[in-house]
Homo-oligomer: A and B are copies of this chain.
Amino acid sequence: MTTPAGTAADLGWSLGAVMRAYLRAVTAAAAAADVPGGPRGHQVLTAAGQGVGASQLALAQHLGVDRTVMTYLLDDLERAGLVERRPDPADRRARRILLTDAGRVRLGELEGALQRVEEELLAPLDGQERQILRGLLARLAAGAGPVNPCQVAVELEQPGC
C-alpha cells in the first residue's frame, strides 16, 4: 500500500477534493479571460472549436447538463460574441454551434491560463505520473455511463473513441 490510511485512500473524497480545486481554478481563469459560464463555458468553447458544429443537445450531453442549461449558457456565450448559432441545413430544428474568430482568440488565451492552472494542480506529480493520470481518467470517463461519451464524440468528430 502506497496510499496512507484514512480518507486519503477514499476515492470519493480524493475525487471531490481534486474536483473542487480544479473548478475553483478554472472559474477564476474563465473570469479573468472574460469567458461566461465558468468551467462549462470553457468546455463549450473547446467542444465548439473542435467539431464541425455540434448541436446544442449534443453539447449538453457531452457536458452532462440539461438541454435547457445549454440554452442559457449559449445565450451568454453568443452575447459575448464567442460562439455563433448557425442553422443546420440538414435539420432545420437543430443549430450548429460554431466558434467565432473572437471566440477562437479568447479560447486561446484561456487555454494558456489553464495550462498554468493545471501545472499547479498537478504539481505533486512528475511528468510521467501526470500522463498516466490523464490516461487513466480518460479511460474511466470513456466507460462512464449513462450517456455514452463515444456516441457524443462521434457527433463531435473525435475518432479517438
Chain A residues at the B interface, C-beta cutoff of 8 Å: 2-22, 24, 26, 39, 42-43, 46-47, 50, 62-64, 114, 118, 121-125, 129, 131-146, 149, 153, 156, 158-161
**CB–CB B50/A140 < 8 A:** no
**CB–CB B138/A123 < 8 A:** no
- Interface of A, secondary structure class, is helix
Give Cα distance in the complex from A79 to B125, angstroms: 43
Name A8's contact: one of B7, B20, B42, B142 (CB within 8 Å). B142
**CB–CB A64/B16 < 8 A:** yes
Number of copies: 2
Name A50's contact: one of B4, B6, B114 (CB within 8 Å). B6
Cβ contacts A to B, 14 pairs, < 8 Å: A3-B160, A6-B50, A7-B43, A7-B156, A8-B141, A9-B134, A10-B46, A11-B134, A13-B46, A14-B137, A17-B140, A18-B141, A132-B136, A136-B136
**CB–CB B140/A14 < 8 A:** yes
12 new A-B contacts at CB < 8 Å, known A4-B158, A5-B160, A16-B63: A4-B161, A6-B158, A6-B159, A7-B158, A9-B138, A11-B134, A11-B137, A18-B141, A20-B64, A124-B139, A133-B133, A133-B140
